[in-house]
Amino acid sequence: MNGKVYLVGAGPGNYKLITLRGLEAIKKADVILYDRLANSKLLKYAGKDAQLIYVGKAPNAHTYTQEEISKLILNKALEGKVVARLKGGDPFVFGRGGEEASLLAENGIEFEIVPGITSAISVPAYSGIPVTHRNVSSSFHVITGHEDPTKEDKSLDYEVLAKLKGTLIFLMGIKNIGDICNKLISNGQSPDRPVAVIRRGTTVEQRILKGTLKDIANRVKENNFKNPAIIIVGEVVNLADTLSWFDKKPLFGKKVLVTRTRQQASKLSEKIEELGGEAIEFPTIEIIENDKYDDMDRAINEIGKYRWIIFTSANGVKFFFKRLRELGSDVRALYNAMLCAIGPATAKALEDMGLRVDYVPKEYRAEAIVDSIKDKVQQGDKVLLPRADIARKVLVEELEELGAEVDNIPVYKTLIPDYDREELIRLIKENKIDVITFTSSSTVRNFYRVLGEENIDLINEIIVAAIGPITGQTARELGIKVDIIAREYNIPGLVNGILEYFNKWEEV
Ligand code: SAH
């Protein structure tokens, strides 16, 4: 049986600007073809066995022609695969979606067109430019700025275009911007008509350049403005002065590396993106269950003897209770113990299970836990610490000094995931990272190992933010300078630290 093809409009660059239908197609596809204009972050929604094929231009790699792409889609469908072909913006707006669909139609392959948000309207919107506006512009016109040079007779008639009073939006026009403006002027438009050129709109790299028909071409040259960019001609451009909003977000333009585990990254990434920045997830740590159960099982079987159970991470909570259930027990077994959590996220993990947490220290680190309970711990109290295999010793030592008997049990392990050192170095060298965040000492150490000692100087110019003093100290010991240390040792604290650094502090 033949497969099915979805030609999906993936939006203008910001990965959240895709439709629900488009996302559905990505989730169910066996094969996904994508190129530079479609944000590769969408790929994280792909099924785990989906085949991902990059068909865009890349240095040192084969560049697919349009014909090859169409054939590849066809062949995959003939193999019975569900194919999602992601296209920037809308597939039918200068997207050659029609050509891809024609080949499918000729061959009797089922296909669906998923419309997308075209850059023609969304890029102006993200710059505070409404393409129509009462009393200012009653129409908008989307025009190619890149006429096929092999064409004999030109399909665009600038005499007609120049008569239009509405907003003119040129795609693919940066190379020809001089000619475009000259033709509009020579056919009667005012040389003073406002023009904006917007590059990489809707993304963290969005830049706008404003001018008029007579001077914008020079300004584009002077500023070395490159593709992808749209040209927008019309009085609506002036509205950007009052309506711009995206570039006013506090972390606008900031690219922030997130080194936490893939599962945990999203909380930090969401906050960064909410504030207008871009989160680049590069997990340097992976957390897996500790499969040596002896110690844990012994502790769980005697759980009633512990007067204190101290959790130092949400992962500790997760893996401890998983094993508890596997052994046929549940939260009721803990009735005898006082529960402590290192901070609010860990406490929430416990509360989500219906448990009450007895102690959460004011400062979210190991030493502070001991302070918060030291008056209550009695000689001989048994304490259970379900933690990571690499957890620091200090908590155990301080509790023992109080006379407690501590069982420090690794319930999960941390690993360095399969990583791509070259990719990290490329991001750094191409200035794709403004801030590196570290949320634990292990993220620092693993980052150091991923990057390699010999490359550590590459990050000298990048701002480094640590979740707390211990993490900061680990970084400094490895020769990494630290610019930001969060005052509250959790994710909101880290984000606040970054905002404060850029003088953009607000409560998050
Ligand atoms: N189908 C796409 C357009 C593809 S043609 C759509 O509907 O948006 C490629 C052109 O789109 C680029 O040359 C540029 O003019 C424009 N473009 C696409 N994404 C853009 C972005 N994020 N910012 C500015 N221009 C963009």
Give me the domain span that covers residue 53. 4-117
Residue that terminates a domain, selected from 415, 439, 456: 415
Task: Determine the average pLDDT of the residues in 286-307.
Answer: 90
Return the structure tokens found at 102.
């024609």
Tens digits of residue pLDDT in 173-215: 999 999 999 999 999 999 999 999 999 999 999 999 999 999 9
Domain CATH code at residue 96: 3.40.1010.10
User: Would you say residue 121 has pLDDT above 50?
Assistant: yes
User: Where would I find the beta strands (DSSP E) of 40-166?
Assistant: 51-54, 82-87, 110-114, 140-144
Percent of the chain having pLDDT more than 90? 74
Residues 8 and 106 in one domain: yes
What CATH code is carried by the domain that includes residue 489? 3.40.50.10090
Same-domain pairing of 299 and 378: yes
Ligand 1 atom closest to the CA of 95, numbered from 1: 1
Higher pLDDT, 507 or 186: 186
| Strand 405-415 to 382-388 pairing | parallel
Ligand 1 pocket, 229 CB below 6 A?
Answer: yes
**Within this chain, do residues 196 and 338 fall inside the same structural domain, yes or no?**
no
- Per-residue confidence band for 365, with pLDDT thresholds at 50, 70 and 90: confident
* pLDDT single digits (tens) 393-414: 888 998 999 899 999 999 998 8
Q: Is residue 506 part of a domain?
A: no
Q: Is residue 237 a part of any domain in this protein?
A: yes
Confidence of residue 149 (pLDDT cuts 50, 70, 90): very low
The pLDDT of residue 464 is above 70: yes
Same domain? For 154 and 302 the reply is: no
pLDDT tens for 46-63 read 999 999 999 987 666 677
Beta strands in 282-417 (DSSP E): 286-289, 308-311, 338-341, 382-388, 405-415
pLDDT tens, position by position, 225-258: 988 999 999 999 999 999 999 999 999 999 999 9
Residues 266-284 have pLDDT tens digits of 899 999 999 999 999 988 8
Coil, strand or helix: which one is 459?
Answer: helix
CA distances from 404 to 88, 218, 379, 381, 429 (A): 61, 75, 6, 5, 51
Q: Are residues 153 and 40 in the same domain?
A: no
Beta carbon of 228 within 6 Å of any ligand 1 atom: yes
Tokens 């200012």, residue?
136
> Mean pLDDT of all residues in the chain?
91
Residues 166 and 73 in one domain: no
Read off the pLDDT of each residue in 129-138 and give the average, rounded to a whole number.
97
- What is the set of active-site residues? 35, 57, 172
Residue 330: inside a domain:
yes
Q: What is the mean pLDDT of residues 343-367?
A: 88
* Statement to judge: residues 161 and 236 lie in one domain: yes
| pLDDT classification of 501: cutoffs 50, 70, 90 | very high
Do 241 and 321 sit in the same domain of this protein?
A: no
CATH classification of the domain holding 133: 3.30.950.10
3-class secondary-structure state, position 312: coil
The alpha carbon of 131 and the centre of ligand 1 are apart by a number of angstroms equal to: 16
The count of domains in the chain is: 4
Q: For residues 428 and 280, state if they share a domain.
A: yes
205 near 154, Cβ under 8 Å? Answer: no
* pLDDT at residue 148 greater than cutoff 60: no
Give the span between the Cα atoms of 216 and 136, in whole angstroms: 21
Whether residue 455 is found in the same domain as residue 422: yes
Residue 426, pLDDT > 60, answer yes
Place of tokens 């590396």: 257
- Taking the CA atoms of 345, 350, 354 and 360 in sequence, report the sign of the dihedral they define: negative
Q: Which pairing describes strands 405-415 and 286-289: parallel, antiparallel, or unpaired?
A: antiparallel
**Secondary structure (3-state) at 484:** strand
Residues 68 and 166 both lie in one domain: no
Q: How far apart are CA 188 and CA 171, in angstroms?
A: 22
Residue 97 beta carbon below 6 angstroms from any ligand 1 atom: no
Looking at ligand 1, which atom is closest to the CA of residue 227?
A: 13
pLDDT at residue 145 in the model: 93
Query: Does the residue 508 lie in any domain?
Result: no
* Domain end position, chosen among 415, 444, 470: 415
Neighbouring-strand partners of residue 409: 386
Rounded Cα–Cα distance for residues 5 and 18 (Å): 17
Tell which residue, 498, 347, 366, 350, has the closest CA to residue 437: 498
Q: Is the distance from the beta carbon of residue 12 to the nearest atom of ligand 1 less than 6 Å? A: yes
pLDDT at 39: 79
